[in-house]
Amino acid sequence: MRLLFIRHGDPDYENDTLTEKGVREAEFLADRLQGEKMDYIYLSPQGRAQRTGEATLKRLGRTGETFAWLREFTTPVFLPQSGEKHLIWDFMPSFMDKYPQLYSASGWQDVPFIRDSGVPQAYRAVCEGIDGVLSEHGYVRRGSFYAVERPNRDTLVFFCHFGATAVILSHLFNQSPVALLQHFAAAPTSVTTVYTEERERGIASFRCASYGDVSHLYVAREPVSFSGRFCETYDDMEERH
């Protein structure tokens, strides 16, 4: 089985839709996906993901299924000392250095400011959501792997968000989501491709074949959005700090 995780186009967050650039990106993405094998299509309920998926669905004359758990992962934590509300990514490096347990697959949720927030419950809801879909398609979670009840080569497509994708991947790969959110960036309309591997009969794991692919934008000569990244050098005040 193949999974495609697609981030929405360049966002207008205030209105939960796409910028003019994001609309162009969604059309270039549709150009790419028009020839892809896509057996099942799922979408986040948020406007920017719906609008991105709509460009492809209209081309194909198809509809997708919307799931609430595919929405962006915005459950906050409250930082120690300052009490500042914060998401579980984009921590300063000096902050991460104080909490190495955030990199632990088994221990990240035990960090006090994570444990005492709504994050564990929200994370569990996303994990149950993706596991429910995979189970319907023949792959059932058993501990750290998936029991293969109906092996297949279907392609499942998810139009969602950078944070939501990182959370799902952390579950599939048995990793801390904080580590993925802290060190990876998926540009708007990027495509991340994940395959099952059944190296032992009846037991599947997941492997990422490509992450954040924006080749459709390069082909169209459309600049890649900076969204999701921070300044490459501190002295560049034009880029996000």
3 state SS of 35: coil
Question: Beta-carbon neighbour count of residue 147 at 10 Å?
Answer: 14
DSSP-derived secondary structure letter, 63: -
136-188 per-position pLDDT tens digit: 999 999 999 999 999 999 999 999 999 999 999 999 999 999 999 999 999 99
Question: Where do the domains of the chain lie?
Answer: 2-219
Indicate the CATH number for domain 2-219.
3.40.50.1240
Residue 206 CB coordination number (10 Å):
20
Residue 134: per-residue pLDDT: 98
Of the chain, the percentage scoring pLDDT greater than 90 comes to: 92
Cβ pair 5, 29 in contact under 8 A: no
Amino acid letter for position 3: L
Q: 34-71, pLDDT tens digit by residue?
A: 989 999 999 999 999 999 999 999 999 999 999 999 99
